[in-house]
Amino acid sequence: MKGTAGGKLILCGEHAVVYGHPAIAIPVDMHTTVEYEPRQGALVVEHDLWSPRDEDRLDEALSKLFPDGGAHLKIESDLPIGVGLGSSAALSVAVARAMGATTDDDIAAKAMEMERVFHGDPSGLDVAVAMKGETLWFIKGKPIRTIPSPPCAIVAIDSGTSGDTAQMVQRVKDGGAAAEEIIDDIGALVHAARGVIEDPRLLGELLSENHRHLRKLGVSTPTLDQIVDLCLAAKAYGAKLSGSGGGGVVLALVDDPEPVLRSAEAAGFEGWTVRSRD
């Protein structure tokens, strides 16, 4: 049996979503497919995605769903791993679907078992987008709502290093009262972003402001800041880190992806158009 699921980008609200604020996330046009065949004996996994360092975590995550082995899994993906594009959630949802899960509750329950191995105690946002493949208004523990997508192209630029989600979430937790205040500001910003989701110019300004909040929370890096500046100089409507930070990607809302992608490439960064204009 086969299961497929796509990646995501958090448009705004990462970290604040852990504290019960809303976040907006969009699906990206990159996917993971898992083929599952029952077999006698140990679990066999075929893939060319993970480095040996991460392979242990992959095995541990899969063993949550296949504690007694009994499966041959073939994983194929065009999603870059560990850069904030939701590769582990796409994998987890694709595995759940390949196992025959069809209802949202069953897919989410199985996928979250794997996600907890990858990320500690994730909010479930990545799994929700991988499952739905639509732009979502997400509040932890509440029913998921679909909302319109921004009517412009979106690019993601890779900073070249990976952040560790559990570590970044802990860093925010350690930030105390100052961090709480910033988290509340991000929550308010996400509500404002929803109101202007169909106006790239106003939305872009809010996303750039969201990046400044994330920088104050201590989850940006000099490279992520450099990429945000580079995107804005190349006439993006707005740019911010997306995901847990500490590395990973910057997203930029753009009218035309080319100038931003060219400017990123000239500075040595790989980038992708993750959504074309709708």
End-to-end CA distance of the chain: 32
- Return contacts of 59-67, CB within 8 angstroms, 24+ apart: 60/117, 61/88, 61/92, 61/113, 61/114, 61/115, 61/117, 61/118, 62/95, 62/114, 64/113, 64/114, 64/116, 64/117, 65/95, 65/96, 65/99, 65/110, 65/113, 65/114
Q: How far is the CB of 241 from ligand MEV (least distance, A)?
A: 10
Comparing CB distances to ligand MEV, the nearer of 16 and 95 is 16
Comparing CB distances to ligand MEV, the nearer of 58 and 83 is 83
Instruction: Determine the interface stretch with ligand MEV among 42-50, 66-74, 121-129, 223-231 (rule: CB under 6 A).
Output: 121-129
Under rule CB under 6 A, residue 169 binds ligand MEV: yes
Strands 71-77 and 44-46, sheet pairing = parallel
39 close to 71: Cβ distance less than 8 angstroms: yes
Comparing CB distances to ligand MEV, the nearer of 204 and 248 is 248
Q: How far is the CB of 151 from ligand MEV (least distance, A)?
A: 24
Q: Which of 77, 88, 149, 165 binds ligand MEV (CB under 6 A)?
A: 165
What character string, x for contact with ligand MEV (CB under 6 A) and - otherwise, covers 204-233? ------------------------------
The Cα 250–Cα 224 span in angstroms is: 7
Residues 60 to 119 in contact with ligand MEV, rule: CB under 6 A: none
Residue among 26, 11, 8, 14 at smallest CA distance from 187: 14
Comparing CB distances to ligand MEV, the nearer of 126 and 158 is 126
Under rule CB under 6 A, residue 18 binds ligand MEV: yes
Under rule CB under 6 A, residue 247 binds ligand MEV: no
For tokens 């095995």, the residue is 59
Q: How far is the CB of 85 from ligand MEV (least distance, A)?
A: 9
The Cα 228–Cα 208 span in angstroms is: 8
**Size (the chain), residues:** 278
Under rule CB under 6 A, residue 175 binds ligand MEV: no
The Cα 34–Cα 100 span in angstroms is: 12
Comparing CB distances to ligand MEV, the nearer of 144 and 202 is 144
Q: Which of 135, 210, 221, 244 binds ligand MEV (CB under 6 A)?
A: 244
**What residues make contact with ligand MEV under the rule CB under 6 A?**
10, 14-15, 17-18, 122-123, 125-126, 165, 169, 243-244
